[in-house]
Amino acid sequence: MTVLDDLTAADAGPGRREQRDRRRTELARFLKACRARVTPEDVGLPPGLRRRTPGLRREEVAQLAGVGVTWYTWLEQGRPINASEQVLAAVARALRLDGTEREHLFRLAGLSPDFSEPDPPVLDPSTQVILDALAPLPAAVSNTRFDVLMYNRPYESLFGAARVTTDSGSFNSIWCTVLAPPCCNPFVNRAEALPRMVAVLRSAYGKHVGEPAWEEHVQQLSARSELFRELWERQEVAPPEIWLRVFKHPKVGALRLNASYLTMPGVPETYVVVYLPEGPQDQERIEQLAALPPGGWLDPCHECGHPDPDGRSPGPDGPAEATGRGGA
């Protein structure tokens, strides 16, 4: 089966060729990062001497996968070669990839290529009614890029104090987490939350390598945040999952919440996220959060006395108008 080069130059336009090139580059980086994380001891090989880099050598991966060294080298270099499901599965086993990482590898290799740029999701107006009915639970509709497409008032208040918009002006929860300074970040446990979010984002990115909107999204975040660049370069992938998030809010204090995800039939790569309280105190604080009037949160960045991440400078009567590209 032809995988990496399934469209010929004759029938592929420049945009499609560029997407294939981007996929090959991303595949090469992913394989190299995965190889560096596996030690010889992990796979029953002697440690050996004079290793210049961590992890396995290319010839060791080839040996474990039962493929030629030259072929694997070319695969890791992103060259336009052919591969089969069976061979890629052997490489995945040699690199000890889990299910999410294996799926990511297959997508990057083009086993399920999708070169079309998807249309923006169209949400039924009744979705907003449903979100509002879920209050006091914070709830929103997001896509796999972490764009927040619809939300209820408790969700808005949860992020409102540290809300950061993308360069195009969209509300995006990963931008809030990456760019809000530590004193004003919506997460108490950002050191735990952010690597998970970046890994989920990279897993979704595997379906969209080369798509302009996704490439711009990653490039803008990378340009704005050294921390994001470091996490992105780890090449870690993960599925959305339930885990404890600890939010902080200037009016109600810390909230320990677990996210539940509900898929939306007919709206691909879009889901409803609902935050559920961990305990009675969290339930009480969620109700306090929902009772806040519109705009009833403090602006921590104004309170701290420094410009907020969107470029607004604080003033005696509140934040000034935005001076950067991202709006409030």
Cα gap 118→143, rounded to integer Å: 12
pLDDT band at 258 (very low <50, low <70, confident <90, very high): very high
Cα dist from 285 to 11, 59, 126, 134, 154, whole Å: 58, 56, 27, 16, 11
**pLDDT category of residue 166 using cuts at 50, 70 and 90:** confident
Using a cut of 0.85, tell me whether the model's pTM lies above it.
no
- pLDDT, tens digit (0-9, with 9 covering 90-100), for 23-76: 889 999 999 999 999 988 887 777 766 667 778 889 999 999 889 999 999 999
26: left (phi over 0), alpha (psi -120 to 50) or beta: alpha
What six digits make up the tokens of 7? 């469209």
- Which pLDDT belongs to residue 6? 43
What amino acid occupies position 195? P
- Reported as type and span, the H/E element at residue 223 is helix 212-224
As a whole number, the mean pLDDT across the chain is: 80
For residue 14, what pLDDT is reported? Answer: 65
| pLDDT computed for residue 120 by the predictor | 64
Q: Which residues pair with 262 in a beta bridge?
A: 272
Q: Which of 297, 274, 276 is nearest to 286 (CA)?
A: 276
Tens-place pLDDT, residues 193-206: 899 999 999 999 99
Q: Which two tokens stand for residue 130?
A: 């449903």
Omega of the bond leading into 136 within 30 degrees of 0 (cis): yes
Give the highest mean pLDDT range of 13-22, 131-140, 314-323: 131-140
Under DSSP, the state recorded for 261 is: E
Whether 142 and 270 have beta carbons less than 8 Å apart is answered as yes
The pair of structure tokens assigned to 161 is 């104090």
Give the integer Cα–Cα distance in Å for 320 and 141.
29
Helices 14-37 and 69-76 cross at an angle (nearest 10°) of: 120
DSSP letter at 271? E
Distance between alpha carbon 301 and the CA centroid of its chain, in Å? 25
Output DSSP code: residue 115: -
Assigned superfamily of 14-109: lambda repressor-like DNA-binding domains (1.10.260.40)
Mean pLDDT of 235-256: 88
The C-alpha atoms of residue 90 and residue 234 are separated, in whole angstroms, by: 22
Predicted local distance difference test score (pLDDT) of residue 55: 87
Compute how many other C-beta atoms are within 10 angstroms of the C-beta atom of residue 14: 7
The domain ranges of the chain are 14-109, 126-319
DSSP letter at 119 equals: P
Q: What is the mean pLDDT of residues 245-262?
A: 91
Residue 129 has pLDDT above 90, yes or no: yes
Cβ burial of 220 (10 Å; 0-12, 13-18, 19+) is middle
- Are 254 and 190 in contact by the 8 Å Cβ rule? The answer is no
CATH topology of domain 126-319: Beta-Lactamase (3.30.450)
